[in-house]
Structure 1
Amino acid sequence: MIKQIEIKILPEEIQEEDKLYKIVASKVKVEFSRIQAIVLDRKSIDARGRRPKYVLRYNVFIDEKPPEETSFLGSLGSVKSKKTAIIVGAGPAGYFAALEMIALGIKPIVIERGKDAQARRRDLKAIQQDGIVNPDSNYCFGEGGAGTYSDGKLYTRSLKRGNYFNVLKILVEHGASPEILLDAHPHIGSNKLPRIVAELRETIETFGGEILFETKVVDFIIKDGKMKGVVDHNGKEYEANATVLATGHSARDIYYLLHQKGVKIEPKDYAIGVRIEHPQELIDEIQYGSKVRHENLPASSYKLVCQIKEKGVFSFCMCPGGLIVPASTAPGELVVNGMSLSRRDSPFANSGFVTSVTKDDFFDKTDNVFAGLEFQQQIEKTFFNAGDGSQKAPAQRMTDFVNRRESIDLNPTSYIPGIYSASLHKLLPIHIYDRLAQAIEVFKYKLNGYYTAEANLVGLESRTSSPIRIPRNRETYMHETTEGLFPCGEGAGYAGGILSAAMDGQNVARKIAEYYQ
């Protein structure tokens, strides 16, 4: 018999394991000799009340022992001589599709336009310090995808997509901290993810898969309505009966190529806004009731959402103790994102602050499938052109943003390229600005202290998700009209983060296995 027990304890008690086990045992109300094991199952924080507390959920095994852990790596065999499938993109969707294919006896060939995680660092340094954007290697493109250098948050509401715990266990087997199996809002950290991603690559290659870096897909091989493979930038052809498109939300060239080849795509809603950056100690004071955070408490976070003019406005990708980073994928555009290291020890807290964007926002009343993408791209260019040609970002104090006045000066920032004072209320389309400004008026009552001149708004946050969906059959996960093409992950419009993308990759791999039978 397994009994679940939940207890609340103060931060200073979190490391007193013996004491905690005794508290749990006393709540079970059975003879102590019948308890075979007490295993921590879930850890979260309740910040309500005068003092924050940890909420711990334990599984107590009575008259039976915990089941033995199974190893994903131990279940794999070589697929070197097996039937192949192509995967375009080495992000979480692509890599977890590859791992699942190996488990199912299919050889994956992963084709990635960017560099491996370690080599990407030089290009990230170039965009941070010199404003040089490599369109094939940046914060979005390269091994591990956008998530590798964007905090590694491992939280999803998409529980129907699959077994998210399975994804977490695979990450742990490849070097992630076992704490991610317990935390209610787990994350890995951008300083640790590259090593873990490299371990995933090693597993794929060890068991017979292939991974090709700095290899850009420029054409599709489509015959009689069937996807037969892809062509790279050197003219080399790769053929397989199944091709997975897991290219991420910023591979605009892939959308145009699909359209050119007559493969159906469709517009999708997404979101646009800015990054809000507060002092972390201010968010801690709001959430924990004290600027001095107990050493056993993590940097605090928040989540806010409201409806303005029937459109959602919400915080997005909140990075406590984090940094704002340049996420442009081409010269002449300005895009920012957030990330955190594993310790989340930056003095800043940043979050995306965005509003839903739908067809009526685009000012394009035609059936142009790229209207949303072009609207997104035009605002990114507007923000870039407002500056000096570098990756310096326009910014405004929150109070000045609401009151439509340019800031005389700005708060310190984590954004390495630097910020300069600008009228974001003029750079943003007026209807986007109005919804954001009105939402701040709502949020200041939801989170006392959130509305402050100590916060900067930094623009532009525009890559929340793909503005295009590649439609697929709900049962087969195959494209609606092109046999053998399997849209996957964020770039196809079916995921929104590392976990959901990884699960989508696994699901696609299973459907390919069925297709190959």
Structure 2
Amino acid sequence: MKRIEADLTPEKYREAEQDSRVRIVRRSLDSRRGVKYHTVMEVYEEGEEMPVADYRSPYKDCRNGKQVVIVGAGPAGLFAALRALEHGLRPVIVERGKMVSERKYDIARLTKEHEVNPDSNWCFGEGGAGTYSDGKLYTRSTKRGDVGAVLRKFIEHGADEKIIIDAHAHIGTDRLSPIIAKMRETVEEHGGEYHFGKRVTDIIVKDGAVGGVIDSEGNRYEGVAVILATGHSARDIYHLFQEKGWLIEAKPFALGVRVEHPQELINTIQYHSRNYSPLLPPAAYSLTTQVDGHGVFSFCMCPGGIIVPATTAAGTQVVNGMSNSKRNSPFANSGIAVTVGVNDVPEYAQYGNFALLKFQEDVERAMYAATGVDATAPMQTLTDFCEGRITTKLNKTNYMGGVLSTPLHELLPSFVARCLRQGFKDFDRKMRGFYTREASVLAVESRTSSPVRIPRGADMQHPQLKGLYPCGEGAGYAGGIVSSAMDGMNAVEAILANL
């Protein structure tokens, strides 16, 4: 066997991929100078046996194991449960939303009938917000845990093996749902249990140690530890901490809009030609700049994607993006967000640790007020937004909840609008053609991360509450599927170390 590293044209890459003697180990698409796949591959001689990967994990029957309560069935909670099985701990998952097969009906009601279910929506339910975000598996947090372990568990439960070789892997929303359901089956087959439609309203504390949680119906779930993996939109958990006097703190986050371009335009820009190879995937981009001390950056970019209403409460408006596995929508979309810290909103200082949370809520309410209908998004052309004009003719969009022409340049917080305007022009210098009337902006992209952090020590426990392990996006320690999954698995390792 020879290990070869090479830059291949799309056509040469296809040949290598179809060669039975070749095993692709790693690939990344580089379009900076020509369009090439940087490829690492193993070439086997005749008679040499190509290894077959075994992705099965060593799960144990945990029916008699020590019980760990996991609040939330998103990536952090779900991967915590899988890691618990490997150690013989019995995971009990308490999830406010519905299982993934039922959740889709509440999402349909939101997009078609504008009816918000606060416990079952694009953010809450089995799989968490990650279920409806394209299934992006790229993370910069490689030092926080074993990225490979996360990818192997996805493959074990039905994901394409290609995710292990792609530098920017994705699964697709359409394929994530059955994978998440299979993960639940694994947990239940080995003795773990799920409780859906159970919103946690209190934490059981005795002598400074956490022993479980209580849901809104008074049901108690007890264990040797509690993993709090409630996601970035579970504001009621933050209020619970505030009411109990438990430590929480404001955390910088980012807020902005979702920009939508024709995918063909992004392909032409990124592949430097209208005559790019048909073997190439829908093009993506990653952009960042600095404006007046604020970071302005693309977030959750969805090639061939769809924009969705991600609100979790009536009277608020939030957008997010997703793609299916084929990424075959005619549009590309991405969040474009501006960093926001407590010093940027001095008028909210009176809210203390909730300063940024209150700011986030107020912007979401203002966006709803602009349309007056849940899930209907305020929209403007990109050029009108930047030049301060009312949009009289909206572009086509595949946003799922309906749109209304709105002067977002006036409605967004002034510093956010200012940074976005300059940011879009900066991006056009990096991607000529990005700034165009063909592009649209929809608001508001406000759930990039949590504006509140639930603190924890080096042992991953809350400093006041022994046995409570805040983790994932909701606690402010992760951003995205993979980093959240690793954080959940790390929480289980911390529990074992502290028992």
Shorter-chain TM-score bucket reads over 0.9
Deviations 1:101-142, CA, capped at 9 Å, x for gaps: 110110000000000011011011011111111000000000
Aligned counterpart in structure 2 of residue 439 of structure 1, from 423, 442, 449: 423
Q: Give the alignment of 1:313-352 within 5 angstroms.
A: 313-352=296-335
Alignment correspondent of 2:114: 131
Where structure 2 has 5 or more consecutive residues not aligned to the other structure, the ranges are none
TM-superposed CA distance for 1:504, in Å, is 0.6
Alignment correspondent of 1:241: 224
Aligned counterpart in structure 2 of residue 122 of structure 1, from 89, 105, 112: 105
Aligned counterpart in structure 2 of residue 72 of structure 1, from 14, 33, 56: 56
2:273 aligned with 1:290? yes
Aligned counterpart in structure 2 of residue 453 of structure 1, from 434, 437, 441: 437
Aligned counterpart in structure 2 of residue 390 of structure 1, from 353, 361, 374: 374
User: Match for 1:44: what amino acid?
Assistant: S
Q: Give the alignment of 1:67-466 within 5 angstroms.
A: 69-73=53-57, 75-291=58-274, 293-362=276-345, 363-366=347-350, 368-466=352-450
Contact 2:66 2:224 (C-alpha < 8 Å) held by counterparts: no
Alignment correspondent of 2:11: 12
- Residues of 2 paired with 1:18 and 1:246: CA distance? 39
- Residues of 2 paired with 1:308 and 1:4: CA distance? 45
What's the secondary structure of 1:122's corresponding residue?
A: helix
What's the secondary structure of 1:389's corresponding residue?
A: coil
Contact 1:14 1:296 (C-alpha < 8 Å) held by counterparts: no
Worse-matched range after superposition: 389-398 or 190-199: 389-398
Deviations 1:187-229, CA, capped at 9 Å, x for gaps: 0101110000000000000001011111111111112211111
Worse-matched range after superposition: 239-248 or 38-47: 38-47
- Residues of 2 paired with 1:388 and 1:217: CA distance? 31
TM-superposed CA distance for 1:71, in Å, is 3.9
Contact 2:55 2:155 (C-alpha < 8 Å) held by counterparts: no
TM-superposed CA distance for 1:470, in Å, is 0.7
User: Match for 1:421: what amino acid?
Assistant: S
What's the secondary structure of 2:65's corresponding residue?
A: coil
- Residues of 1 paired with 2:485 and 2:329: CA distance? 28
Alignment correspondent of 1:25: none
Identity %: 48
- Residues of 2 paired with 1:64 and 1:254: CA distance? 57
- Residues of 1 paired with 2:83 and 2:193: CA distance? 14
CA 1:19/1:315 → structure 2, altered by over 3 Å: closer, same or farther?
Answer: closer
What's the secondary structure of 1:344's corresponding residue?
A: coil
What's the secondary structure of 2:349's corresponding residue?
A: coil
Alignment correspondent of 1:32: none
- Residues of 2 paired with 1:366 and 1:321: CA distance? 43
TM-superposed CA distance for 1:64, in Å, is 9.3
User: Match for 1:223: what amino acid?
Assistant: K
- Residues of 1 paired with 2:300 and 2:107: CA distance? 20
TM-superposed CA distance for 1:357, in Å, is 0.5
Alignment correspondent of 2:487: 504
Contact 2:241 2:248 (C-alpha < 8 Å) held by counterparts: yes
Note the aligned Cα RMSD (angstroms).
Answer: 1.8
- Residues of 1 paired with 2:102 and 2:276: CA distance? 37
User: Match for 2:388: what amino acid?
Assistant: R
- Residues of 2 paired with 1:19 and 1:168: CA distance? 23
TM-superposed CA distance for 1:450, in Å, is 0.4
Deviations 1:251-294, CA, capped at 9 Å, x for gaps: 00001011212221111000000000000000000001234553
User: Match for 2:353: what amino acid?
Assistant: V
What's the secondary structure of 1:16's corresponding residue?
A: helix
TM-superposed CA distance for 1:8, in Å, is 1.9
TM-superposed CA distance for 1:53, in Å, is 1.9
Contact 2:64 2:90 (C-alpha < 8 Å) held by counterparts: yes
How many residue pairs match? The answer is 497
Q: What is the TM-score when the length of structure 2 is the normalising length?
A: 0.96
- Residues of 2 paired with 1:473 and 1:247: CA distance? 19
Contact 1:106 1:513 (C-alpha < 8 Å) held by counterparts: no
CA 1:219/1:446 → structure 2, altered by over 3 Å: closer, same or farther?
Answer: same
Alignment correspondent of 1:28: none
Aligned counterpart in structure 1 of residue 478 of structure 2, from 474, 495, 506: 495
- Residues of 2 paired with 1:361 and 1:382: CA distance? 18
TM-superposed CA distance for 1:167, in Å, is 0.7
- Residues of 1 paired with 2:115 and 2:308: CA distance? 13
Deviations 1:38-90, CA, capped at 9 Å, x for gaps: 531111112123x42222112468999777644433x1120011110100000
Alignment correspondent of 1:467: 451
- Residues of 1 paired with 2:457 and 2:186: CA distance? 30
